[in-house]
Structure 1
Amino acid sequence: MNEERVSKSVATKKETAYSKTQLLASKRFERVDKDVLAAILTDDAKYTIAEAEKWLKAFQTKEVQ
């Protein structure tokens, strides 16, 4: 019964969103990744860690023209 409560609370828990400034100040990203995030994220939006990582991956895999 206790496990059931835990799994329900984890499933309903929302991921925290952070501002661009907070992401750039975090220790989660490398310096070069922070440079990329500074260039591609907008100042007035909030992003989850997963979204920021998704933007980084999209940038890194983008074909050079």
Structure 2
Amino acid sequence: MSDIKKEYDFSKAQKITNFENGKFFIESENITPPIYLDKKILSELEILSKQSEASISEIANEILSKYLMSK
């Protein structure tokens, strides 16, 4: 017995003919995980960003790089 009900009308459905395998596949090394910051830290980074005209990401990366290099 079919799960498709007779009242469904597929007569106007578009036929898919041009599709690409893997079109939406993203290599794992190209995925950037989200990083969640405390509101207070984010607020400070926003202030620094406005003062220096650098993005929050640039400032955070610079701070983290200096921190990690000092270990």
* TM-score (structure 1 length as normaliser): 0.27
Structure possessing the higher relative contact order (Cα contacts under 8 Å, 6 or more residues apart): 1
Q: Which has the higher helix share?
A: 1
Q: Which has the higher strand share?
A: 1
* TM-score (structure 2 length as normaliser): 0.25
